[in-house]
Structure 1
């Protein structure tokens, strides 16, 4: 087996920028404080049991909070939520009041869920795995909320947010 040269980080990031992904806000409530962050590293993992996968950067404040609580909420973003996604992706923003002015609802876990999300899921941590500079969280979905009205979704592609879809008549 031959040794491979290390991957250039810039080339790696450029390659992954070509993968379009949905955008979510993942949140938890710890010590009476909301912790939330923008996440595009999110996917379904299993139908039975219902599991989703979220990757949290180990240096993020959210990381410690979600490990401590064992629960989290996921809000799948509509295209018009790009300003919220940008805000909650910003490193170093004040933790207190970070959700001020953003309409949220609380579900069974107490996590803040975006009131106008395309869909909302609440999870309890099923398992935690090391993933280099991130932690891979598998969450068992314990509650969902899907508003009847479908709207364009927010995706992240090539370093920017983009709307995808036009509503219920989308053909794939």
Structure 2
């Protein structure tokens, strides 16, 4: 019988996969909830579906599960400080977006100004997957930057830039 793969080696291997950086947002019980995420994928064109993966223990998970709507802001390279802030565990919930320029989308969720693109979704399914949930949403609105800059990417546990 072979031993299970080493979790540290798994983390290292997955770190070799470059991803874009996003901010997920929702509005629940009158408060904005947001987090930095890189687990985003296009699922289907008809209907238009995307998925995000959210850690079950994250406070964002409960807010997302209950609200039923959420936004994705795909970050530009100039938004690294925002990515850092919204990935800080234990940050205050109230006012976490006060210093981050944003607008309200069709569903009321915060969408970050200066993002390369924004996507608003209504949750269609939530699937348990280990210590995360896979949240599938139908796209209800889209926005793209007219003059997009460079993308903020995550590779080998570090932020970088992709032109």
TM-score range, shorter chain: over 0.9
Take 1:14 and 1:23, find their aligned partners in 2: how far apart are those partners?
A: 18
What is the rounded CA distance, in whole Å, between the counterparts of 1:38 and 1:113 in structure 2? 13
How many residues are treated as equivalent by the alignment? Answer: 163
TM-score (norm 1): 0.93
Moved over 4 A (4+): none
Given the superposition, is the C-alpha separation of residues 140 and 4 from structure 1 closer, same or farther in structure 2, using an over 3 Å criterion?
A: farther
Equivalent residue of 1:83, what SS?
A: helix
1:90 aligns with 2:88: yes
Match of 2:5 in 1: 7
Q: Which residue of 1 aligns with 2:35?
A: 37
Distance 2:56 2:39 in 1: 14
Partner of 1:122: 120
Larger radius of gyration: 1
Note the C-alpha offset of 1:100. 1.3
Q: Cα RMSD over matched residues?
A: 0.8
**Cα deviation, residue 150, structure 1:** 1.7
TM-score, normalising length from structure 2? 0.98
Unaligned runs of 5+ in 1: 166-172
Query: Larger % of strand: which?
Result: 2
Give 1:108 deviation, angstroms: 1.1
Asked whether 1:163 is paired with 2:161, we answer yes
